[in-house]
Every structure is written in C-alpha cells, then in structure tokens.
Structure 1
Amino acid sequence: MKSLKPRVGVIGFGYWGPNLVRNLIHNGECDLVGIADPNESALKKFSKLYPHLSTYTSAEELLEKTKPNAMVIATPPATHKDLALLCIDSKTHLLIEKPLAQSVDECDEILTAASKQDCLVMVDHTFVYNPAVRFLAEQIHCGNLGELLYYDSVRVNLGGFQPKTNALWDLAPHDLSIIDYFTEGKMPAQVSAVGRKHFDNDIDNLCYLNLIYPNNFIAHLHLNWISPIKIRTVLVGGSQKMAVYDENMPTEKIKLYDRGLSLVKEKPAPGDFRVSYRMGDMTAPTISGSEALEGVIKNFIKMTKEEILPITDGDAGKRVVQILEAATKSMDENGSPVTISNLYNNTWLKKVA
C-alpha cells in the first residue's frame, strides 16, 4: 500500500474540468501538479483561479515535465482513447470523464493497455457517488425494496446540443451507470431505442431507451434536449417497496413508499383473482448534502494510493458503452430490438467482487 500523496495531472479545463480540479484541491490528499489544455483562454482562466499551479498546452508536455502517477481526462469523448493510451504509456492510473470511450472497441484498447502496464482505470460516473443514489442502492442491495421490478427515468432539459454527440450519449450514461450500480453489473438481454432529429444538424435531440433484463426487470429512459423544463426524476419499483428520486428537490430527494399490490386468487380457475392493495407510509430519509464529485475524487485517490479497484472501474465504463452502442444500432434500425448476446461475448461482464 502506497502512503505518499499521489501526483495528479488534469487534461482539459473546459466544461467539467474546473469541477474536477476544484474537488482535487479541496480533497487535500493529492498533489495537483498542473493541467493541460490546448485552449489558451482555458489556461488563462485556470491561472486566474490557481496562479500557483502550472499550465501546459499539451498532455505530452504535462506528462514529461511533471511525472504524475495519476491523470484525470476531462475532454470530449472523441479524444479519450488516444489520451488514455498516452497516459498509460507513462504508467499513470486514470480517471476518465464519462463515457469511457466512443465504442466498445476503444474501451477494449484502453483496458487492455492498462492491464499490460498495471494501470487502474476509473470512470467518472458521477451519480454513482451521489449520496441519494448510494442510499437507494443500499436499500436495494439489502432487500428493503424486495425484488427489483422496474427503473423509470425522465432526464430532460432545454439545450445541451453538442456537435459530435446526441441526447442518448450525453444523458443516458447517468442512468445506465446508476442501473449498473443498482444491479451490481448485470447486463440487459435486449435493448431497443428510438430517437428523433428535429433540427437540421443530423443529431438526435430526443431518445426513448428500453432495457429488458433476463429476470423480468425492465428499465425505461426518456432523454430529451428540447423540454421547456428541467426534470431529473427516477421511479424505482420493487416487489416490497417503491422509491422516487428527484435530483431537483432541495430536500427530500428520496421518498420511499411502502405501497404495492398483489393478486389474490378467488377460485382455482385460471384468470380468477382480485387485487389487494397495500397503502403504507411514505418516508423521506435524511440524505447527506455532500457533493457527488467529492466522492468521485475520494475513490480516485483511494484507488491510486492503495492500488485497488474503484467502484466505477473500467469494466463498469465498458458495460455502459456496450449498452450505448447497442442502443445506437437499434436507433439506426428505427427501434428494432437488439439482443446483447448477438453483439458481444459477455464472459468478461461479471463484476469483480
């Protein structure tokens, strides 16, 4: 186990990089050795906030001059593979912004290279470290909700258009990583998705995604860049209890409902039954107000110092990309279901204990 503070470098100071840098500095358990960004205005912004830290115009220069043992990649997905391979070649552990890469093949390149160099890869699936999500995961894993039946999410807002991605790849990783965490790495048997391009830019601004699991669990995601209001609501149904998670609520983000129904047969004949409803209490547990990124950075530093697998490791990142890739294929075929086992060999998908 290593005890020295990790030397951490950051690539990218655009949209998400400033949040990661702020949390790295606030953490205090690592030494931030500098950032790299080819954009001069981004470097000026960084220097104004952190004048005592070094800036570089390329990842190569940052790696060469600072010799970090861990790197954070906060750049567009199209750059992830090449930057990750560059860092791995310098034998650094990695935290990579979601999604891990643009394809499963790129994920394989990253993870294979990392394995050969004994480098660990963590993906910034931020919501997995959200205190509300972690509380709900505990309720699921301890059996408080019973058998998991469904996950129904609405993740919509006005805007978010990007030149090289669509609503599916931008918004779905949040819910897919949460589902991956709730199900402990289980993969759906079948994926279907439909999207629509309402503007002249050949980019899907809206998507409806369905995931069918072998154990009768089902997930539905509504993803939309052209909603008049911002909604971040998840319904999770279990055989014993149900939960509502509303990220937009200032308090009571999680509400647990001791409610449900069951079918009571009145006669032996098939189809004869009555419905019994259970209308129990609603509870709103107190949830920590700590920032999710604080948890991300804590887990990243722990991974780097102790050289242990993080919660959202490279395989978790690959599973998310695999579903995104299958959903993209379904969208290209106007919603035709895609069977996961027909696309990939899933022997690697069993989550490491």
Structure 2
Amino acid sequence: MTTGKELGVAVIGAGYWGPNLARNFRSSDDWELRAICDLDLDRARRVAGEHVAVTTALDEVLARDDIDAIAIATPARTHQAVALPALEAGKHVLVEKPLADSFAHGAQMVRSARERDLVLMADHTYCYTPAVLKIRELIAAGSLGDILFIDSVRINLGLIQPDVDVFWDLAPHDLSILDFILPGGLRPTGVAAHGADPLHAGRPCVGYLTLPFGDGALAHIHVNWLSPTKIRQMVIGGTRRTLVWDDLNPQQPLSVYDRGVDLAGQSTGGTDRSDATISYRLGDTWAPALPHREALGQMVTEFASSIREGRASRTDGESGLRVLSVLEATAASVRADGAFSQVEREPDLRGKVSAA
C-alpha cells in the first residue's frame, strides 16, 4: 500500500493551515489528495477543488482503504481525539504544531504510533526551510564551535488567539527549531518564564522564556502579540563564530560573523577564568547561499519518505513531545511568577512514560 505509487492522503481541517497542506499535497509527486474533512462543508469544498471528496465525518475518511495517511490541521485541543482513531485505523499521521494540547495527550499519540509501527510526524514547518537546514548543517560541522547562547525574537501585532496564550501560539516555532538544530535535541535543564497580559485578555500576550542547558549554554525566547513591528530573528553565538538569521530578509537571511570574545593568559586553574585576559576577535562576515524551496513541499516529501522507508521522520512525535514538555514547564513557571520549572518527562522506547 505504501510503495511504488502515490500515497493517498486526507486533510482534516480546512481553516487557516489546512489549505496550505492541501496545496502542497496536491502538487507533490509522492501524494494524491483524496479527501478534505471539515465541519464546515462549504469551506471543505473550497479547499478541495475538483476530484477530491469532501465530508464532515472523520469515520468516513478512516474507513477508506485508499487513504494511507491523514494530515491534521485543527485546533490543538482536538489533535489527540483525531489522531488516536486514525492510528487505530492504520493511518500514518501528520499533525500541525503543537503536537497536542498537553504532554500526556502527546505521549498517548506517540505510544499508539509506536505500537502500530506507524509514522507520527509533527508539522514543524520551519525545520524544512533552507535557512534552518543550513543552520543545522553549520552547527553539526562545527563551524560555530560550541554553542554559548541563543537569542530568538518572534514578535508581531496579533493575532490574539482565543484558546491559547502567546507561548503556546508562537514559541513552538522557536522550540522546534532549537530541537532540530541542537545536537541531542531540545533538552534544557528547566525553564524560567514571565508572561504579561496588559490588555486583560485573560492570557499572556507578551512572554519571555529562558532555557539553561547543562553545558552552560543559555537560550532566550521573546514572543509578543502586541508589537507594532514584526521581527523574526535568531542569534546563535558559538566559541568560533556567531550566526544571525533574519527570516524577514529575503536577500540575506543568514549572516555568519567571525567575531567573538577569547579568553587567554589564564592564571588560575580549573574553570575559574576571572583572571583571564580578554581579547576580541574581529574577522570576516559571510552569507551562505540558500536554495529557494518551499518548506511545506519539503515537509510532505519527508512525510512520504519516512512512510516508505519505515523510519522516523526528521520531526517525529518525540520531537513534538520535547516541545510540549517545555511548553508545560513554561506554563508552570508563569503560574509561579517566573520560578524555575523542571522539564519533566518523555516516553521511553517501550512506550512507558518515565522521568527524564
């Protein structure tokens, strides 16, 4: 059913993100879009176009033998309720970020997919952009050296979501990127987060998130629904070079700076460098060339490849869980007025949930 021909897929949800998924499945050589499922039948018809079935009933989609996989583009609170019956029906599953509305629900989804040898993939779209793929490549090659800090800003004016706060809306992008580019994935020692609700919207609209890592590195993420200017920027500082990614600069999204601080002439032993001589390195700046490819097109190709090859995808269910674990720790920290919160658990290979 999954080799030598196009795979059949149905998109569940025809709202904001569903049309983008449908368009990329339709244009892919690996897939045939066979159904759109949405509670609003007229909206489903507008997305489906010709020769694609539309329905309001998930059961109808899951009963079809010609559908190998489903792509879920519904609110996070519904992801588990849609994904579990799909996995039980033998369908591979792609899920819009975040993977679920809680770590526990995400863990159930991961466990169900593992028990059935099915692909569960998180749609962490940024991880398929040429810029993020190049960042991952540079870090893996040691071009930046050991990572010292990451500073990420994702701010804009709206849209204020009715069901989630700014952390759950915007931070999954940055967290999934960190999980993708850092060796070993997203494994901070904990989280300290502060959120503000100056509009009295009932949920944080401005947020600051700090993630310390065990090797002394530190990541900081700023998310904001209230900024009159839109900024999408990440600075990654290493012992050798520093990289700046400006996602809103189409001409030069990546810049690599051979600049930094060196410590020399250390007079004390061990790790105490208080007496070290500080010198500043001022070298060249260069901009890596990037191909022009749509991230969603690469993502649906990876989804098909992981199914055909019987392997985990680049952004598998476990990566989605690591993001969820940080989001839950963030919520706990915000409730505790910024107190440090431990990042809890992830399922082991046997499908049980254990402490990290």
TM-score range, shorter chain: over 0.9
Instruction: Give the letter aligned to residue 259 of structure 2.
Output: R
Per the alignment, in what secondary structure is the counterpart of residue 338 of structure 1?
A: coil
Per the alignment, in what secondary structure is the counterpart of residue 175 of structure 1?
A: helix
Structure 1 residue 307: Cα displacement = 2.0
Residue equivalent to 2:115: 116
The question of 1:148 aligning with 2:151 is answered: no
Per the alignment, in what secondary structure is the counterpart of residue 161 of structure 2?
A: coil
Tell me if structure 2 keeps the 8 A contact 1:91–1:117: yes
Tell me if structure 1 keeps the 8 A contact 2:92–2:119: yes
Quote the Cα distance in structure 2 between the aligned partners of 1:116 and 1:238: 40
Quote the Cα distance in structure 1 between the aligned partners of 2:146 and 2:347: 24
Instruction: Give the letter aligned to residue 47 of structure 2.
Output: F
Quote the Cα distance in structure 2 between the aligned partners of 1:55 and 1:39: 10
Instruction: Give the letter aligned to residue 224 of structure 2.
Output: N
Tell me if structure 1 keeps the 8 A contact 2:121–2:316: yes
Per the alignment, in what secondary structure is the counterpart of residue 63 of structure 2?
A: helix
CA RMSD across the alignment: 1.8
Unaligned runs of 5+ residues in structure 1 are none
The question of 1:288 aligning with 2:287 is answered: no
Residue equivalent to 2:165: 166
Aligned residue runs from structure 1 range 76-91, under 5 A? 76-91=75-90
Render the CA deviation track for 1:5-28: whole Å, top value 9, x for unaligned: 211111011101111111111112
TM-score (norm 2): 0.93
Render the CA deviation track for 1:38-87: whole Å, top value 9, x for unaligned: 0133123224xx22211111211222246411110011101000100110
Instruction: Give the letter aligned to residue 7 of structure 1.
Output: G
Residue equivalent to 1:37: 38
Quote the Cα distance in structure 2 between the aligned partners of 1:345 and 1:301: 26
Structure 1 residue 346: Cα displacement = 7.3
Quote the Cα distance in structure 2 between the aligned partners of 1:24 and 1:273: 57
Residue equivalent to 2:354: none
Structure 1 residue 175: Cα displacement = 0.7
Structure 1 residue 169: Cα displacement = 0.4
Quote the Cα distance in structure 2 between the aligned partners of 1:271 and 1:298: 51
Quote the Cα distance in structure 2 between the aligned partners of 1:298 and 1:170: 25
Aligned residue runs from structure 1 range 88-237, under 5 A? 88-183=87-182, 184-237=184-237
Instruction: Give the letter aligned to residue 33 of structure 2.
Output: L
Residue equivalent to 2:55: 56
Per the alignment, in what secondary structure is the counterpart of residue 95 of structure 2?
A: strand
Instruction: Give the letter aligned to residue 90 of structure 2.
Output: K
Q: Percent identity of the aligned residues?
A: 36
TM-score (norm 1): 0.93
Change (3 A) 1:56 1:345: closer
**Greater helix proportion:** 1
Counterpart of 1:305 (choices 285, 303, 308) is: 308
Tell me if structure 2 keeps the 8 A contact 1:33–1:66: no
Residue equivalent to 2:253: 253
Quote the Cα distance in structure 2 between the aligned partners of 1:345 and 1:84: 19
Change (3 A) 1:267 1:217: closer
Change (3 A) 1:78 1:266: closer
Instruction: Give the letter aligned to residue 181 of structure 1.
Output: F
Change (3 A) 1:80 1:211: same
Structure 1 residue 31: Cα displacement = 1.4
Aligned residue runs from structure 1 range 9-24, under 5 A? 9-24=10-25
Structure 1 residue 105: Cα displacement = 0.5
Instruction: Give the letter aligned to residue 214 of structure 2.
Output: P
Residue equivalent to 1:275: 278
Tell me if structure 2 keeps the 8 A contact 1:4–1:305: no
> How many residue pairs get matched?
345
Instruction: Give the letter aligned to residue 245 of structure 2.
Output: Y
Per the alignment, in what secondary structure is the counterpart of residue 132 of structure 2?
A: helix
Quote the Cα distance in structure 2 between the aligned partners of 1:278 and 1:118: 51
Between 285-294 and 217-226, the greater mean CA deviation after superposition: 285-294
Quote the Cα distance in structure 1 between the aligned partners of 2:346 and 2:245: 34
Structure 1 residue 261: Cα displacement = 1.3
Change (3 A) 1:229 1:137: same
Instruction: Give the letter aligned to residue 236 of structure 1.
Output: I
Structure 1 residue 201: Cα displacement = 2.7
Tell me if structure 2 keeps the 8 A contact 1:70–1:304: no
Instruction: Give the letter aligned to residue 340 of structure 2.
Output: P
Quote the Cα distance in structure 1 between the aligned partners of 2:275 and 2:211: 31
Tell me if structure 2 keeps the 8 A contact 1:193–1:207: yes
